């Protein structure tokens, strides 16, 4: 009996029976891999870095207090479509944290180490204020302020301090209520200072070597700080001097032009109409005219014109000089009080 291959009945059945058979090879492997891919995507989403807001900081202002506390105030651009916004802080010892939207509405925030997750509630600008203890340290009498800022910022130092070291040149410097306010560039900055001028060593101590080292540190640091501050003022002194000079020139020009006809009439409203006509003619004649010319112009006798000219002189508008046996009437460049 010859062996015969028997084909299973189900392989001969037509698809018209409504039954579709699919090849099952690899299904089990796919079923095992699918959950692993999903888990991998979830892990990737969780492990993605929190959004940093350093690049979105609009303004940054710092105030250093005498106890070493630094108050930080900044405006940060946020995405109103995102429910939460991660704010990178400048340290971990955070106190009095307050976040507000552009309308002053308080926003909820959750602080974890050196970042704060703020609920935006559709805000496009977030104002953040907080106090921090991490930026200022003290060693002996020397206080050190250190920060690495991603943007340009202003720094208000405590009062009654002497800056003895600065790692970078400030962009600007001004005094506000006896406190130095510095405008500093982005990047790492270190400022060394101490309180009170009297703390600079003035006389030798029993240990000359130690005193010598301290003197070099204080004096050298003081020179460095003074050089930095001097550089800032020298850099801007030319522009300041130029502005002052331009202002003085403008004031002189105003003074030169202050005695035009309209100005004279405004400052001397008591002038009569015939006096105003005299002033207008003298002004149009280059600011001066002979009395004889005035008589011819206005057809006035000598005595009448003389009284009119003397009246203008009493008003401080003109001055009378003798020139070639004639009276030269000249408009003054500056009005004087009436005699």
Among residues 250, 272, 290, the one where a domain terminates is 250
Do 237 and 268 lie in a common domain?
A: no
Band of residue 35 on the pLDDT scale cut at 50, 70, 90:
low
Q: Is the pLDDT of residue 40 over 90?
A: no
Do 158 and 246 lie in a common domain?
A: yes
Q: What is the pLDDT of residue 261?
A: 87
Asked if the structure places residue 174 within a domain, the reply is yes
pLDDT digits (tens, 9 = 90+) for 12-32: 444 445 444 445 455 555 554
Q: Is the pLDDT of residue 328 over 80?
A: yes
Band of residue 124 on the pLDDT scale cut at 50, 70, 90:
confident
Return the higher-pLDDT residue of 148 and 338.
148
Do 239 and 289 lie in a common domain?
A: no
Among residues 203, 226, 250, the one where a domain terminates is 250
Do 231 and 312 lie in a common domain?
A: no
Asked if the structure places residue 221 within a domain, the reply is yes
Do 170 and 236 lie in a common domain?
A: yes
Left, alpha or beta for 261 (phi > 0: left; psi -120 to 50: alpha)? Answer: alpha
CB atoms within 10 A of CB 37: 9
Do 218 and 318 lie in a common domain?
A: no
Q: What is the pLDDT of residue 4?
A: 52
Do 164 and 237 lie in a common domain?
A: yes
Asked if the structure places residue 24 within a domain, the reply is yes
Asked if the structure places residue 275 within a domain, the reply is yes
Q: Which pTM was predicted?
A: 0.46
Distance CA 128, CA 61 (A): 11
Asked if the structure places residue 69 within a domain, the reply is no
Query: Cα–Cα–Cα angle for 39, 80, 42, nearest 5°?
Result: 0
The CATH number linked to 303 is 1.10.10.10
Asked if the structure places residue 243 within a domain, the reply is yes
Do 246 and 267 lie in a common domain?
A: no
Q: What mean pLDDT, rounded, does the chain reach? A: 74
Distance CA 333, CA 339 (A): 17
Asked if the structure places residue 291 within a domain, the reply is yes
Q: Which domain holds residue 151?
A: 141-250
Instruction: Report the number of distinct structural domains present in the chain.
Output: 3
DSSP state letters, 281-334: HHHHTTSEEEHHHHHHHHT--HHHHHHHHHHHHHTTSEEEEEETTEEEEEE-SS
Asked if the structure places residue 147 within a domain, the reply is yes
Do 234 and 207 lie in a common domain?
A: yes
Do 319 and 242 lie in a common domain?
A: no
Band of residue 237 on the pLDDT scale cut at 50, 70, 90:
very low
Do 289 and 239 lie in a common domain?
A: no
Do 13 and 35 lie in a common domain?
A: yes
């Amino acid at each position: 009996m010859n062996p015969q291959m028997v084909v299973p009945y189900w392989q001969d059945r037509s698809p018209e029976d409504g039954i579709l058979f699919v090849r099952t090879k690899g299904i089990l492997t796919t079923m095992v891999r699918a959950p692993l891919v999903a888990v991998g995507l979830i892990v990737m989403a969780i492990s993605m870095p929190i959004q940093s807001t350093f690049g979105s900081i609009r303004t940054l202002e710092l105030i250093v207090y005498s106890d070493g506390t630094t108050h930080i105030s900044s405006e940060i651009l946020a995405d109103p479509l995102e429910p939460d916004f991660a704010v990178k802080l400048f340290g971990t010892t955070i106190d009095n944290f307050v976040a507000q939207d552009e309308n002053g509405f308080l926003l909820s925030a959750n602080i974890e180490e050196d970042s704060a997750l703020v609920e935006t509630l559709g805000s496009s600008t977030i104002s953040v204020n907080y106090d921090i203890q991490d930026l200022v340290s003290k060693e002996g009498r020397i206080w050190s302020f250190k920060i690495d800022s991603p943007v340009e910022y202003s720094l208000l130092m405590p009062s009654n301090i002497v800056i003895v070291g600065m790692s970078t040149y400030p962009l600007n410097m001004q005094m506000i209520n006896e406190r130095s306010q510095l405008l500093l560039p982005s990047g790492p900055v270190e400022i060394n200072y101490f309180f009170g001028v009297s703390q600079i060593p003035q006389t030798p101590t029993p240990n000359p070597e130690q005193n010598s080292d301290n003197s070099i540190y204080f004096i050298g640091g003081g020179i460095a700080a003074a050089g930095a501050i001097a550089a800032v003022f020298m850099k801007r002194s030319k522009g300041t001097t130029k502005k002052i000079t331009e202002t003085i020139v403008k004031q002189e020009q105003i003074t030169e032009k202050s005695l035009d006809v309209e100005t004279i009439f405004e400052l001397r409203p008591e002038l009569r109409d015939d006096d105003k006509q005299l002033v207008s003619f003298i002004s149009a004649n280059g600011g001066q005219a002979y009395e004889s010319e005035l008589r011819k112009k206005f057809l006035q006798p000598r005595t009448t014109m003389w009284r009119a000219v003397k009246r203008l002189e009493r008003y401080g508008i003109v001055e009378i000089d003798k020139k070639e046996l004639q009276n030269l009437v000249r408009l003054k460049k500056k009005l004087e009080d009436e005699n």
